[in-house]
A and B are shown apart, each in its own frame.
Chain A
Amino acid sequence: MAGFTREVAYRIFAHELKDTSVALERDLENAYAPQYVLTPTGAKVNRVFIVGTLTETEDIGTDTEYWRARISDPTGTFFVYAGQYQPDATRVLAEASVPEFLAVVGKVGVYTTEDGNVITSIRPETISVVDAPTRDRWVLETARQTIDRIKRLEDGSSENLAMVEEHYSLDLEQYRQMVASALESMR
């Protein structure tokens, strides 16, 4: 279709996604406008690609299947929720064994709990079982792209700098350390 471009899948470490607390306002005039979240290193994200280790699955649905999966990378844990509207992903989660490496492509959701905590989660589009070299490649790639985002905030070339300053403390050192510890874990 003319004019339609697929949203890029960002590479974000679990720790950074956990710290993400800003859902950007949708363009109200366009019903198809995607929902974006703003991460602390300035990524404006609708879709992510993550690779990690499945550490727990649980069917928390009442009437229909609704799976919650915890998938960990070297920095933290992603929460992935799949139900009847993600039949392929739901089937993979239902059959998956713990632990194994999973690759997930999905949309990021942010919601605020009653006591004011902001929680991020991933609604999967595809989930597949992958191998260790794929996970290693993902960690390296995510480190590379996170460093690039940090640098763009520091040298002022990030187009999202103003938004990051408005919503986050801009303490980038902790994210450098996050990247460093992720890389250390691969050695």
Chain B
Amino acid sequence: MRLLATVAALGLALVLTLLVFGLPVADSLRLLGEGAFGDKFGISRTLAKATPLLLTGLGMVIAWRAGMYNIGGEGQLIVGAIGGAAVAAALMGKVVGPVLNPLILAAAMAAGAMWSGFAGWLQVARGVPAVISTILLNFVAIQLLAWTVQGPLRRSDGGLPQTVPLPADTMLLKFDRQLDLHFGLVIAVVAVLLVTAFLYGTRSGFRLRLVGASPTAARANRIPSERVAIGSMMLSGALCGLAGGVEYTGITGTLGTGFPQGWGFLAIPVALLGGLHPLGVLLSGLYFGALFAGSENLARFSTGGTTLIYVIQAAAVLAVVALAPRAKPAKIKEAAA
């Protein structure tokens, strides 16, 4: 029922947005569909765009489920990529690619976790709401990236202000040299399964959900909710950082100021439309991946492109919120379990 309502809301949001901006609905939908699923290039594009959305979306699920409003996925993704690039710069040529790649991803996760963990700590220890600090840290991260690629990590051959491109053997595996699709998709899907198992199959996952659903019940059960809060933020940031590392070693191979594409920002609608459930994120991440892939085709009608997708996403979130049942008795049930 809930799934059906969400799908209806998504469809409605898409069609309404097209109508409002005066685009021909049938033709636009056909172009979107062809761009996203028309041939193997389209499907590969869809999956490649969905990959970072899945990872960042999962990150949002973990934080929000613990009651932490992490709005800083974008900053965590950027800082993750910077961490990865720093490791790459230090070890490139000293370590073989297949070894270096996982090191880059691990550094990305660690850097992302630090960035978000700081925000979590600020809330717990200093009373600074994460919803504000994570947003402010996004802007700091953007400037940090600009400084890094123009300063310490800038390639020395005088080219564009960006980092030294990674050699091919350090990049994530590709299934087909013609396509963008890369091994990051497998990482993302495994992450979906792991997060599902963690949230619904482990004691820590249960505690995390309990802290978010009912802080009073958590306290009554002597769950250290402050540690859970910081831990959830760090996990969340690690996933967003991983998204940055995967994008870096899967698609771009280099960092420049144009690196962030808003994946961390758009993770929030992805997570919300996925019902803050990892399996829901799998569906909504794929849907928005398809929208992004298809939108390049829409350029024929509209210069909007990606900004139009923001509208569709916002409209979808609002539509889902509008259709959602009002009361939330689930909280009490879960606390009693």
Whether both chains belong to one complex is answered with no
